[in-house]
Structure 1
Amino acid sequence: MPEQPSATSELEALRPARKDRVIDLVRAAGLDVSDWSNSSRGEAGAATNPKYCYEWVFVEAGNAIVLNLWHVLLAEDAEGRIVHRGNFREDAEIQYARGRGNPWGLRATRLDAALQAALRDDLAVRVILNAGVRRDRDDPDAEASKVELRTLDPEPWSIGAYDAATGKHLLIRGAAPPAFVDQFSIDSDPGGASVRSEQTGSVFVRNPKVREAVLKRSCGRCEHCDEPGFRRADGAIYLETHHIVPLHEGGPDLIGNVIALCPNDHREAHYGEAAAALRLRFIAIVAVA
């Protein structure tokens, strides 16, 4: 009996098999490309308009962004998702430092700005996948990349995590990933009979934007022990946010004073004999996060 061929993985199946025109792919992603014809060659030269065809990101306000990504840089994570991890801002800084800010540094800067716009304005994310000869970013003498194959991924992508301070990102193929939640996200009254009692005293109000930013920064992993948070029944990833210098001691409710922890490390930070040492360790961790 002849040997059966092995099943092609989803990641392998995504590798482009043809080279489509950029203008056609951007149009297929739902962006308006009418301005491409505004050149000396008019409609006939739209597809090769240098203002657009050499770019690696396209943004339409209120609609979507379209990113060009190298297929070779995609990976399949432990959860079976196809992801792209990187840092476009860091890429740009390296190119500028080498005197190659134009065009490579500019393109990387625009990629980073597009991710920020997508997060800020809740824009859809589409991806053009590229294959060919990719320039080694870390080789200062490398030749320019050459795209040999190019297609639009039919699936939308989402921004799983983005660190505004550093530019580090996680892009995930598919719909928006489950939200990151902490102990303050849990509904205190899920329904059903309950007994309420009146309490008096002061309560510190925590800024939800700070907690959200810290949870995204963590990418779903404890920022102390690096263990992943557990997944709740609704798909959300659970960690606990902790003020390193407590609010009642005058600690600020700012990103730089909050860390995402697994429940075990969080309890130890409050009640363990090593609590003072952990506080110093947390300060050091957040300082470089």
Structure 2
Amino acid sequence: MLADLKPRRKNLVFDLVEEAGYDTTDWVESFKRAAGYKANPKYCYEWGYVQPGRLIILNLWHSNMVEEHGQIVHRGTFRADAEFRRLNGAKQQWVDRARRLDGALQVALRENLPVRVIIVDGDRREKEAVDGPSSRVRCRELDPEPWTITAYDWDTGSCELTRGILDGRFVDQFDLEQTSKSGPERREVTTSSFVRDPAVRRRVLSRAKGRCELCGEQGFKMASGAVYLETHHIVPLADGGDDHAINVVALCANDHRCAHFGDDREEIARKLHAVANAFSDTASRIAVVH
């Protein structure tokens, strides 16, 4: 529960990012003095950290988290926070740090990276207090559970982060990839060069309700209790297909392979278009009624 995540100890940021799996080599080597590198100001005051291909780490306030339907969620718009600070004369380092948080989210989305969170608690400066004292962190701890980006608006930077990767009712192959990257011994995984909107994947998995949208069979249940299906773009992104629910379906692993490589893949694509269009039409009629 959310109350259980409230940090009780004030650990060093260096120790926490290292625990998360971040490469601290430059953190150590860029500090001139042999001793005291853990206080390297180039790093220890940052609000987020990016290790491409591996993970991102964010410092998030416990007070900004909410508990919804059994999951812990953080919502915000770091980009808008940065712009507010810039327009209202805040310290430039605060503006830059907020911008880098938004940039970290974009890296995570492009590379399908897990998000590790350092949960902080203490005297938090309100965003509007641009000329006030800095926030004072009294406690900070690394959440042992990875988080995932469940929604992100590329136009505004508005984002939603949810604790856990496989804790939802339905998961897909991109969730498994994140889990692999977040493990203590990272396995090599194949990543796509195309950015997929996590909100679209979640919407399609929810629409399918755990059943393959081609054959109707139930996906298999994972140890976490989540039901596994694979999300599939009917018209591939590489061919100009839209990253939209009308072009994405949830399939069992066997039908997903068939949709890509079967000798009847063109017929499968026609069937899948009909499935996605049917749901789109239903959603439109509901919207009109309401």
Q: TM-score, normalised by structure 1?
A: 0.63
2:88 alignment partner in structure 1? 98
- Of the three residues 225, 243, 253, the one matched with 1:210 is 243
Residue 191 of structure 2 aligns with which residue?
Answer: none
Runs of 4+ in structure 1 displaced over 4 angstroms?
Answer: 182-186, 204-208, 212-215, 261-265
CA pair 153-105 structure 1, distance change in 2 beyond 3 A: same
CA displacement at 1:209 relative to structure 2: 3.4
Offset, 1:32: 0.7
Distance across 1 between alignment mates of 2:53 and 2:204: 27
| 1:141-190, Cα deviation, whole Å (9 max, x unpaired) | 43210111111001110001001111000000011554221889963344
Matched ranges for 1:98-177 at <5 A? 98-100=88-90, 102-175=92-165, 177=168
Are residues 1:29 and 2:23 paired?
no
Structure 1 residues 212 and 145, CA gap change in structure 2 (3 angstroms): farther
- The 1-side partners of 2:5 and 2:40 are apart by 28
One-letter code aligned to 2:214: S
Q: 52, 55, 60: which is aligned to 2:43?
A: 52
Check the 8 A contact 1:89/1:112 in 2, yes or no: yes
Amino acid corresponding to residue 93 of structure 2 in structure 1: P
Deviations 1:47-71 (A, max 9, x none): 0101000001011111000000001
8 A contact 1:92–1:101 mirrored in 2 = no
Query: Are the aligned partners of 2:89 and 2:130 in contact in 1 as well (CA < 8 Å)?
Result: no
Partners of 2:18 and 2:235 in 1: CA distance: 46
User: If each structure's helix is expressed as a fraction of its own residues, which one has the higher value?
Assistant: 2
Contact 2:235 2:241 in 1 (8 A): no
Aligned AA (1:71):
H
* TM-score, length basis structure 2: 0.63
**2:85 aligned counterpart, secondary structure:** helix
Corresponding residue of 2:11: 20
Q: Pick the aligned partner of 1:68 from 39, 59, 67.
A: 59
Based on CA coordinates, which of the two structures has the bigger radius of gyration? Answer: 1
Say which of 258, 266, 278 aligns to 2:284.
266
SS in 2 for 1:118: helix
- Report what 2:29 is aligned to: 38
Change (3 A) 1:188 1:37: closer
Identity %: 43
Q: Residues 74 and 268 from structure 1, CA distance in 2 versus in 1: closer, same or farther, beyond 3 angstroms?
A: closer
Q: Quick one: which amino acid aligns to residue 188 of structure 1? A: L
Residue number in structure 1 paired with 2:214: 188
Q: Which runs of 5 or more residues in structure 1 are unaligned?
A: 1-9, 192-203, 216-231, 235-260, 279-289
SS at match of 1:44: coil
Mark the CA change 1:43 to 1:28 in structure 2 (over 3 Å): closer, same or farther: farther
